[in-house]
Structure 1
Amino acid sequence: MSQKDVSEEGPGQNSATQDSSELDIIKANIESLMRSNQLSKAYELSHQGLKKAEQSGDTGSIFDISLALAGQFLDRNIPDSTIYYSKKARDLADSNEKLKQALNSLGNGHAKAGRSIIAIDLYENVLSIADSLDNDRYSVGVLINLATAYSSQGDHNKGLQYYFEALERSEELGNNEFIAIITNNLGDKYNELENYDQAEYYLNRSKEVSEAEGLQTNLVRVLLNLGNTYMATERYDDAEDAYSKVLSFHKKSGNVTGEIQVIYNLGMLHLARDNYGKARDYLNESFERSREVNILPGMFYSTNGLGELALETENINEAIERYQMGVSLTEETDNPSMKIASYHNMYTAYKQAGNASEALAWLEKGNELEEDMRSLESDRLRAQYETKFDLRRSEQEKQLVELQREQQQAQLQQQRWIIILALSGITILLIAGLILLRINQKRKNANLKLIDTNRQLKDLNQTVQDQKEELERLNNIKTKLFAIIAHDLRGPLGSLQSLLYLLREHDLSEKETNELTANLEKNMLENSSMMDNLLGWAQSQMNGLSINKRVFDLHLAVQSVLDQFTLQLETKGINLVTEVPENTMIYADYDLMKLVLRNLIANAIKFSNSGSAIYIKSEKSGNGMYKVAIEDHGIGIPEKDRAKIFSDEHFTSTGTNKEKGSGLGLNLCKEYVEKHGGSIWFNTEVNEGTTFYFTIDAAEEQELINA
């Protein structure tokens, strides 16, 4: 009997069993290599195992090895490959147990890529699945990931909260591996927060557990973090000992990137100890090895370290040369943080060299890039929220497709029953009728369920669309306000800060002091005008516009406004001619009318060439209104920009002397003039000049008597 059973299985089944056994051995070896930190061997064996699993059609092994590869690419800091293999595993998941593993790995990939919002959403789904399976051990791992994701967003309180919750659950489970990982993460977090006592406490605890459990990979991370703690607290001997142990581990495991990082740390350690010879040796080695394997961050940080060493030894020219090399390296990468660091280094070097103008140029370049980074970060977060919304909508659409599939299956089932009943004959006609009625009822219920689901989905989509439109409207107002504050106001303030810093820190000549003081006064006037416009716009957006009309002399109002532009007119050598007669009595809001005049005159100065003239004129029209004109002979308005004038679009351009504005002035002029019942328009010719006109009510006889 047993011989017959063997015979019936045949050679094909024996081969399949053999493949399965070989794959089990491969997976066990991969796990063993990963635990012993032999990453290169694990990576090579994983690719061999995946190829064999795909050839044999073993989906379970494909799932396991894909997850292993996702983890390996995560350790190598290659998030796109992590996401690819995680999705491959997710598509093969045939149970909630496997699904949670794949989604957790996918969340890790997005977190490593900086998409923390999407990662948090995935982790919360994983935590929900793990809790439904009563899998406390897996829940701890997800809590660690959530803590890390929130920390990467800068929400340190939320990050610490999840770390401590994970630590408490791990202690209840008695899981020393998790305890080692969590305490290491807590130590690293406290290092980041510069709370070095807490950092050392948790890192030493992680070190003890890792050594007792033989957790080599975690032990390497702990020793590196401890070295950083010792460096920050100036315990250089302890730091050197920790770094040396980490370097030995990386050499044994073949982790070249890790070796380069520790060699750089040792160089910076000896620099801190004023041991300049050893510092130079380590930093040069770090740079050369980074160049051999083309690791740009390693080359960047090493050359910056050498620049810092040159500054310490008062070799300014070498420092500038090293820092300039760092700037060149950043051109080959899209890492804005590295660019900002390189610009700051150039500023520091030129400042120490006493070259104030170059120092200021690099400082302003760094400030501009920081502003751009803030805008990009805002766009990146908005894109993540939109991606999250699209994923949710995709899930809803999948549910709808599933309901449609159920309906189709019900219809197919109905057809099968009809065929069977038809063949049964007349004798079971009554039974067939009852069964048909029951099936029809099922189909009706399925249709009703589908209709109800469609209605709910439609209502949900409409609600989401309404909310999206409202959020977009509010976000446009917020974005416009923040863009003006961040770009048009923070930029001049940053320049003011830089000018004040140079005045305070440097022994400048009288000529340089006068030039900087003139720039300071010009920037203050620009900022004052921006603030007036910004406050006026914000008030009209939030509280509506309140107009308090009274009778006053337009001639006196013009003279009051002109007093504010004395410096700009002298600086650009512009002749401003007032042709508004005395006793030009109008009926309007005095403050708002001064703001309109100030913006239009400032605009004329801004776009006028040095040595030209500006004319302010008024004449009474036949409809009981005055027409006021502000005429300049400057550069005019290009054809492509004319449609943007007076629009709600945030639009501004640079003046003939690179003057900046908020982009709100003309928009406010239009709003205030029209609220008075007047109108505003302009005529322009490129390189000939521009004239802005507006109309305002003349004071009637009774109003003059009352006044």
Structure 2
Amino acid sequence: MNKFKIFLVSLCFQFPFLILAQDIAYNTFHNTLKKKAIEFSHEPNFNKVQNFFIEKNYDSTLVFSMRLLNSTKDKIVTDYCHYFRGSSFRAKKLFKEAKSELNLVSREFEFYILIHKELGEIALELNDFEKAIQYFKEAEKLSIKNKQVIKTSTIYVNLGSSYLHLNQFKNAEEFFFKSLKLQEKEKDTTSLIELYINIANLYYIQYKDNEAIPFFEKAYHLSVKTAHFDLKRKSSLNMAVVEENRGNFKKALLYRKESDHWKDSLNNQNKIWAVADFEKKFAVAQKQKEIKVLTVENKLKNTQRNIFFFSATGLLLLLTGGVYLYAQKVRNSKTILRQKNKLDELNATKDQLFSIVSHDLRSSVNALKTSNAKLSATLETKNYDELNQLIIQNSGIANGAYSLLDNLLHWALLQTKQLYFNRESVHLYSIVQQIEYNYKPLLLDKSIQFENSVSKSIFLFVDLDSLKIVLRNLLDNAIKFSPKNGQITFLSNEIDSDFCQLIIQDTGIGMSESTIAELLQEGELLAKKGNSEIIGTGLGIQLCKQMIAKNNGTFTIESELNKGTRMIVTLPKTK
């Protein structure tokens, strides 16, 4: 019994006891900053500083606030600058510098309550809990006069957390319940869940299981109503340990599975957000490049007297670059040919594979060479529409060559047994969603409609990296062989309790029975036929078959010419 209790207490401490005052009414503060920017329009750096601070660009905040401090004599502006700098230093974990800046803010500062809040949080970060209590009590006094800046309920939580770290349980309990009384009126679900967990931890530390467990249960039931994955994970994990402590291991197992589910959901959400953030940054960078190009064009129009000189110089550079690139391509082609001949001699059993791959690579290089020649000629005529088409064509050729090389690399690793497999439980719907994000530009380019109809309740027990390789190859093939305005659908079919089918269905050109038989034959690549660019090498399908087999799955194809294709992958489910 004691072992379970000690384990539960240590587990709960993994979740942060303290709830910092994060519920500042930032809208009020930020609106004030914008008004101040208008008021202090004679201070050009103030608008920059407040914008950087709101955007959480702390490095730029520190640089421009120092410039403003060196140039201004206004006491109000000085107070704002010291607060900006102190808060920025705290965000960067430079606590000594943060305290120095915050202590320079005068008591006449309109938001002086924020100074106590920042200093209290720094004291908590440094485990100086008695000092934290002093700062938060000062903030409590000021919050009575200015409730629009910091909620009194949050200050009570921070005070309770500080007393809890000092093992002053009665004081901690008093402030936690003061906060609880206010928060139940405020109906802030997220804060209320965290407060329930804090109170439960308070009682568990004192071995008061009967008082603690109802608050763990309240936190769990309330977490069902929130979309906060991390709180759901914490609440269900706490309930798992509570049931272990009670000896009800069956319920504990269910709670642990639920906790793992929310953990996976949180990770997937973070990945999707990371991808979306990257795409957003890429789009902004592209727009900035377009703006720079337009700026250059405007400057060229204003300097017509020098147009002949710049044109001649640009033409010379372009000619030199073209000759250099052509020489490089010739040398690279010779190198690739020499390496191919050497590999053919050392590995006769792979003659067919390397013959087909080298054919495709040479085709891609030749296509790029031809396209680049056209590109050079088109640059002289400044036909921008044709230039755009050539650039898009080059991109498609490069992407095709890259996909072929990527498949070849993974195929080689499989053959030499250097590819590491780590089977784990993965959420199928989220993986398909990630693959859709990766191929969104290609889908939009061909106006193909994509539908993810995979059940959100399916978890597969597979190697995550190899599953992504399989789905990327199958989706790439579906896009390649589908016409414009086509449709690609991902479906799921649970065969039984052990296996699940993932179906990739398209409305493309389809395949004949002989082509399907060749693709499904073990170790066979498609021989080059009349229209080799349409048929392909089949290397991606062979790679998919081997990786599916490594994951204890099976692979079949259903297709008819001009009626689309269904790729069916059967994989084991998580038990």
Query: Which TM class, normalised by the smaller chain length?
Result: 0.3 to 0.5
TM-score under structure 2 length normalisation? 0.47
Q: Which one scores higher on RCO, CA 8 angstroms, separation ≥ 6?
A: 2
- The structure carrying a bigger helix percent of its residues is 1
Structure 1 or 2, whichever has the larger Rg, is: 1
